[in-house]
Structure 1
């Protein structure tokens, strides 16, 4: 997935796949190993920034469907 980000291919898909992994990393460091929390926080911030930059790609996922 990191390769997709580095190659700038399918970035929104890569972010969706990486989001739960990054969240788990942050939660583990917050609860069990706080020494790694600064790095995990930086990764989380970078993920959120990229998700914000590509927010138009997520609009159809979050739109209400009409019957």
Structure 2
């Protein structure tokens, strides 16, 4: 069973991208799942929904 929320690092590993590339996806791709921040401070951990990332990744792989 997959976890419901995955960390920034695990998201990078899952998508096989660097932290910088993930940041660019968040900023520039409106279809990319929004991160979930746990807390109000700059150092609060950021998570992503596993199912949202899988769905986004699968849609990218579909032929146009």
Give the structure with the larger strand fraction: 2
TM-score between both structures, scaled by the size of structure 2: 0.26
Larger relative contact order, structure 1 or 2 (CA cutoff 8 Å, min sep 6): 2
Larger radius of gyration: 1
TM-score between both structures, scaled by the size of structure 1: 0.26
